[in-house]
Amino acid sequence: MLKKHKCTLSLDIDKTTQKKRSIQFIIAQLIRKACLISQDHPNTFDHYRSDTAVTAEQQQQLFEGDSYVIHPLSLFSLYWDGIMAVLNVLHMCCSTFRLCFIIDYPHPLHLHKTDLFMLFLQLLALLDTIIKFNTGFFQESFSNVVMLRKQIACRYLRYKFWIDFLSSVPLQFILLFTGSNMRRFHLLAHVLPLLRIIKLKSTITNLHTVVKIFTLSFMWHRSIHHLILFAVSMHWSSCFLYTPVVFTYYWTGSVPKGYNTFLKSTDVDANGDITKFSICQRYLQALFVCLSTFFGTGFSTYKVNNADEFIIHSCIILYASMFMVYTIVFLLKIYMTQYNSTIRYNGLINQVEAYMQQKQFPKPLKKRVFTFYTYKYENKYYKEDAVLDCLSEQLRHEIVMHTCNRFIQKVKLLRGLAGHLMGELMSYLKPEEYLANDLIVRAGDIGDCVYFIAYGTVAVYSLKGAEITHLEDGDHFGTVAMLMKDSKRIATIVAVEITHVYRLDAIYFRQYLMSNKIIRERIETLASKRMHVTVLQDEEFRRKQEKKWEDNIVLSSHDFS
């Protein structure tokens, strides 16, 4: 297997910059490199198919783009988008939590620790907005990246800027810091950060890109996607349960009673008044209610007294039903992906069973057919030719060498063959499977190939029927016929157990093995020994048969007398 290429040519962009090596220059150069398109970005080769194309894009960015504009496939973009993806999820959860669970009634509005955390998230979101003005974008055809600030700004202002900006302005912190008690303005300040929810799709896409660094598995990507959706959905639904009370509080200044009767307390006066319960109690109880809804138990055990609360519950039930349908489809898709080869194998076996039933196979034959398919496919069916045909010759060679490595170590005959010839020879080996008592080679037939035993056991019988020996893993047979002028087999080979062999046709046998002096001598020596043993066994078998025949004649004469 070839090692990864390490280029020794100088393709660094330093040639295009000044030679002065001051600290400011080094820092500026590092920043500039971080903003360039990088081969280490997981999506780079989805758009640029070669290193040359990536280098050309780097040069175009340097000479035609504005200074310090960030390429969307740069390392800076990768790391920053990954960080912002996590922060956006926290922003979406924290903003809804602050709105629905932190109620200052009957005290005046004041700052909480959650407000400080929200301030931190919103300041980073504002920084992200500034960075977006300096990040290039793909045109619709994905054939070109725009790296000019004017075009970037026009596009950003036209599409996503207002959502990003309004959800990032720390208006709630400003109102609380200035001491404003206008609750309706506070409600607006709490609602604006909820606009961040619109960025959920792009957030998950950025998380997918980060996950590609660690794995390309479809199941991992989809599982992470679904888990994030489930966690965010559960959190939002838990918050959504309290919206009638929260909106009434911020609109009128008072907390209505009679809502959220699933909150239970030993204090009768506390029932129906959410301010009598701690934030932890309210959140955990709401989470339990939403979990019961998502998993099918519903709200039937909870009494609803108000129309607006009934609408909220109905929306949650409807969303939960749709989400669980989506979950079932997702799980089915994961199952189909994971066990696709097993499902296809079962389909193949059903076809084979229907065929045998139509042809009225006897039970012993059916059993042998099933045994063959079980052994050959190991309960997983795939089209090997279709998998290998699209690969390059080098990859196919590596795969063959990997799959046949243990087999090569077993076969003593092939020792001493050059590595490149071994790889070529392996590509001409054809795998075959035989069940117990299957006839592989018949004595007297014309031999046009040689067999190598990968695993299994075969019995060798002479032309007259004498059992000569057993051959096992790593042994070979059929070479004697290749050396005979008439190319006839001198022995019959029968499988003793399920046996996997590799067949090598005569033309490749002569091309790769007989052309090697050491291997040819090894073959001739072993063939001569086998022929000698076969002749001796045949002679001994003939004498035993004659003696047995004479004994039978004597017994017959005695019985006649």
Residue 27 has pLDDT above 60, yes or no: yes
Q: Where are the domains of the chain?
A: 21-214, 218-338, 342-382, 431-545
Residue where the block lists tokens 């030719």: 385
For 267-306, what is each residue's pLDDT tens digit? 555 566 777 788 888 899 889 888 888 887 755 556 777 8
CB atoms within 10 A of CB 522: 18
Instruction: Evaluate if pTM is beyond 0.85.
Output: no
Residue 119 has pLDDT above 90, yes or no: yes
Q: Taking residues 178-198, what's their average pLDDT?
A: 88
Cα separation, 357 vs 338, in Å, equals 31
pLDDT band, very low/low/confident/very high, at 197 (cuts 50, 70, 90) = very high
Residue 17 has pLDDT above 50, yes or no: no
Q: What is the pLDDT of residue 1?
A: 45
For 480-501, what is each residue's pLDDT tens digit? 888 888 888 888 999 999 999 9
DSSP letter assigned to residue 561: -
Q: What is the pLDDT of residue 32?
A: 85
Cβ(13)–Cβ(36) below 8 Å: yes
Residues 237-268 as b/e (b if ≥16 CB within 10 A, e otherwise) read bbbbbbbbbbbebbeeeebbbebbebbeeeee
Output the 3-class SS for 476-491.
EECHHHHHCCCCECCE
Tell me what percent of the residues of the chain surpass a pLDDT of 70: 91
Pinpoint the alpha helices (H) of 339-458: 340-359, 363-377, 384-389, 393-403, 405-410, 419-428
Closest by CA to 114, choosing from 102, 104, 126, 125, is 102
Rg (CA), the chain: 39
User: 3-class SS at 421?
Assistant: helix
Looking at domain 431-545, its CATH class is mainly beta
Mean residue pLDDT of the chain comes to 84
The residue ranking higher by pLDDT, 143 or 360, is 360
Cα separation, 486 vs 119, in Å, equals 93
Residue 398 has pLDDT above 50, yes or no: yes
| Distance set, CA 11 to CA 8, 93, 122, 187 (Å) | 9, 46, 41, 56
Cα separation, 542 vs 532, in Å, equals 15
Q: What is the pLDDT of residue 258?
A: 75
Q: What is the pLDDT of residue 252?
A: 86
For 322-353, what is each residue's pLDDT tens digit? 999 999 999 998 888 888 888 888 888 899 99
Cα separation, 117 vs 491, in Å, equals 85
Residue 389 has pLDDT above 90, yes or no: no
Q: What is the pLDDT of residue 373?
A: 87
Q: Taking residues 415-431, what's their average pLDDT?
A: 80
